A and B are shown apart, each in its own frame.
Chain A
Amino acid sequence: QVQLQQWGAGLLKPSETLSLICGVYGGSFSGYYWSWIRQSPGKGLEWIGEINNSGRSNYNPSLKSRVTISIDASKNQFSLKLSSVTAADTAVYYCARAGFYLPAATLDYWGQGTLVTVSS
């Protein structure tokens, strides 16, 4: 059974960098794309981007300039960094498993979510 567990700082000040890590337990790590999605309070879902174990990444164009997704295949982990955060970046951030050798696909396993609040 595949499980994703995520962790990282939950409270940031404006202009700081958001940093989250997602660990993958069970199942295969290689071959899949691994994604980050966020959900602002009371709002819908926004895809942030993804990466595969070869390091190939795809990003949401609206966030691309501030986002870095990286991977550590030796630890079955991938991470998200979002720079220069503002209050508009306050959201629950999820990691998820995406397609098998297929970028920008469906998301079948999800982490538990991390609430990140940006406030001065």
Chain B
Amino acid sequence: DIQMTQSPSTLSASVGDRVTITCRASQSIGNWLAWYQQKPGTAPKLLISKASSLESGVPSRFSGSGSETEFTLTISSLQPDDFATYYCQQYNSDSITFGQGTRLEIK
């Protein structure tokens, strides 16, 4: 199994801040990496696929980068709606695995 490790586990920030979340894969996954946002009581929402491709309707303040084993999700200017938990997901192998999540909370 490919293990996905996110850091930090919790991130405290303020509206307007620029924040970055890191996701590391236990082996190379090329650019087969997605990012999801989840709010309490709701299903995850796909934000980014193929490491950097923004899904339709996702605000441009979200961006993704990286390849092989190290990836980042950046939010350029935090908005109140962005406080949520974020997960990375690899889909390089025939079995999907997720990171453990990063909770983005209001400072």
Q: What is the distance, in angstroms, from B34's C-beta to the closest C-beta of chain A?
A: 5
Cβ B91 vs Cβ A44 within 8 A: no
C-alpha gap A104/B55 in the complex (Å): 18
B-chain residues with CB within 8 Å of residue A46 when the two chains form the complex: 98
Cβ B98 vs Cβ A103 within 8 A: no
Say yes or no for A105: interface residue by CB 8 A criterion.
yes
* Residue in A45, A106, A112, A113 whose beta carbon sits within 8 Å of that of B46 in the complex: A106
- Chain B: how many interface residues by the 8 Å CB criterion? 22
Q: How many A-B contacts at CB < 8 Å in the complex?
A: 53
Fill in one digit per residue for B43-56: 1 if any A CB lies within 8 Å of its CB, else 0: 11110010000010
User: Secondary structure at chain A's binding surface: helix, strand, loop or mixed?
Assistant: loop
Say yes or no for B97: interface residue by CB 8 A criterion.
yes
Cβ B43 vs Cβ A94 within 8 A: yes
A-chain residues with CB within 8 Å of residue B45 when the two chains form the complex: 110
A-chain residues with CB within 8 Å of residue B72 when the two chains form the complex: none
C-alpha gap A110/B45 in the complex (Å): 8
User: Secondary structure at chain B's binding surface: helix, strand, loop or mixed?
Assistant: loop
Fill in one digit per residue for B63-107: 1 if any A CB lies within 8 Å of its CB, else 0: 000000000000000000000000101010111111111000000
B-chain residues with CB within 8 Å of residue A47 when the two chains form the complex: 95-98
B-chain residues with CB within 8 Å of residue A14 when the two chains form the complex: none
A-chain residues with CB within 8 Å of residue B100 when the two chains form the complex: 44
Cβ A110 vs Cβ B43 within 8 A: yes
A58-B43 contact, Cβ under 8 Å, with A44-B87, A106-B89, A108-B55: no
A-chain residues with CB within 8 Å of residue B49 when the two chains form the complex: 106
Which A residues lie at the B interface, using CB under 8 A? 35, 44-47, 58, 60-62, 94, 96, 99, 103-108, 110-113
A-B contacts, 20 of them at CB < 8 A, read: A44-B87, A45-B36, A45-B44, A45-B98, A46-B98, A47-B96, A47-B98, A60-B95, A61-B1, A94-B44, A104-B91, A104-B94, A104-B96, A106-B49, A107-B34, A107-B44, A107-B89, A108-B46, A108-B55, A110-B45
